[in-house]
Chains A and B, each alone.
Chain A
Amino acid sequence: MKIDNFSFGPGALTVPVGTMVTWTNRDDIPHTVVSTDGAFKSKVLDTDEKFSFTFAKAGTYPYFCSIHPKMTAKVIVQ
């Protein structure tokens, strides 16, 4: 997953159960990756820093950047 130009890409990612997803911040500005329902929460990620989370259960996981809350996306685990 890339964080670039104040957006998460792709906006919706579908993965099988047990997948580890890694986000990398490609922006000049720090961002965070925070699950809307509390399932995961990264520390602040400066440029080129990464955050990983393994999705052990099926479901839809909406998340956002807690610094720039207009940035939203979701991971669908099947």
Chain B
Amino acid sequence: MVGKMKDELLHDHNHDGIDRRGFLKCMAWAGTGAFCVIRGGVLSSYSLSRMREMSPKEMAGELSFVQISDSHMGFNKPANPDVAGTLKAAVEKINGLAAAPEFILHTGDISHLSKPEEFDTVDQILKDARPKDVFYVPGEHDVLNDDGKQFLERYGKGSKGAGWYSFDKKGVHFVGLVNVLNLKAGGLGTLGHEQLEWLEDDVKHLKHSTPIVVFAHIPLWSVYPEWGWGTEDSAQALSYLKKFGSVTVLNGHIHQTMQKVEGNVTFHTAASTAFPQPQPGKADSPGPMKVPAEQLRSVLGIEQASAYFGKSNQFKLTERKKKHEEKCVYCSSWSRDDIGNRRPGREREVFRPGAAEARSHGSEDR
């Protein structure tokens, strides 16, 4: 822990205890993405920020890729005035992986306001990533004002309808779905009849043993309908996937990681590379988690914690450190394990089918 935290304040150019790297590190979500590896047909997912803890053996499998989400390029409010910087941080983490993943999945909200220059910036940043193939699905922020025409022109080559498509990689069938168009008043995300028919047909010919990975922007499970975090007709889509032994659903939209298992389906949501959103129902609205002006410096002021971590008695809490963690909106959501190490509250965990199912449903349901 000591060694890992040492590098939090490397370049204090303004002598104010703030540097970009420390800033990014304090925000546990910054530069986050998910490293996904498929082993024996089952997908495991790990936060990119925890890859240092993993052995090469854990990272090995038939196929690996990275999911990133919700870059919101163009967003410039206090919750994160440098969304390009945090996306670059994600790319740095991807490029730092021991083995290059096969490709990148971006689960939408590439841009904040669907402006061409926002898409251009993301394209430019992702060009620096070692995986050269990037597969996209749109978020609602990518289809503003034009019902997704621009998105289709940029990213929709070879896709069907409003941009849905499928492809196969090393025996795994990937399906990209669009659930951010034609939203109805009071409703949730929508796939629509045409897309559902296509999906039914797309998977009909596949063997039951084919691992399936479905990705879409808005969760295909009911995370929190009160905030619109779900998809009206997702049950219909999932009914076409019942025959398969291994189905994984990857979503974005809610700017935090979550996972759930229902029968043969494992659901994951990815964090945003731009800004965090509150846990379901834990705030008045799902708006960006803001940093009040008076707290901004303390959020950035990781120097207090890094100075502390540089010392040997790391498990003894000091008042100074406690104060930082209480004030820092990012650190305050972390918890401590029994020997005092800090752990982010909502980090991705290694998925083990039995264990996750027990957590989600309780053993009596199995």
Contacts and interface: CB of A to CB of B under 8 A. Distances in A.
Interface of A: 5-7, 27-30, 32, 36, 43-44, 46-47, 62-64, 66-70, 72
A46 B113 contact: yes
A58 B288 CA distance: 38
Contact of B287 (A28, A32, A64, A70): A28
Nearest to B283: A5
A72 B186 contact: yes
Given A30-B144, A69-B228, A7 B290 contact: no
B187 interface: yes
A29 B287 contact: yes
B241 interface: no
Given A44-B113, A67-B140, A67-B144, A27 B287 contact: yes
B183 A69 contact: yes
B284 A69 contact: no
Interface residues of B, number: 24
A72 B285 CA distance: 14
A66 to B, nearest CB: 6
A42 B308 CA distance: 52
Contacts of B285: 5-7
B interface majority secondary structure: loop
B185 interface: yes
B228 A70 contact: yes
Contacts of B183: 66-67, 69
A23 to B, nearest CB: 16
A44 B187 contact: no
Contacts of B184: 69
A27 B287 CA distance: 8
B77 A47 contact: yes
Given A28-B77, A30-B144, A43-B145, A69 B186 contact: yes
B75 to A, nearest CB: 8
Contacts of A63: 185
Which of B77, B228, B288 lies at the interface centre, i.e. has the most chain A CB atoms within 10 A of its CB?
A: B228
A25 to B, nearest CB: 12
B186 A70 contact: yes
Given A47-B77, A69-B184, A70-B226, 11 more contacts: A5-B284, A6-B285, A6-B287, A28-B290, A29-B287, A29-B288, A30-B113, A32-B144, A64-B186, A67-B141, A69-B185
Contacts of A36: 185
A24 B112 CA distance: 18
Interface in B198-238: 226-228
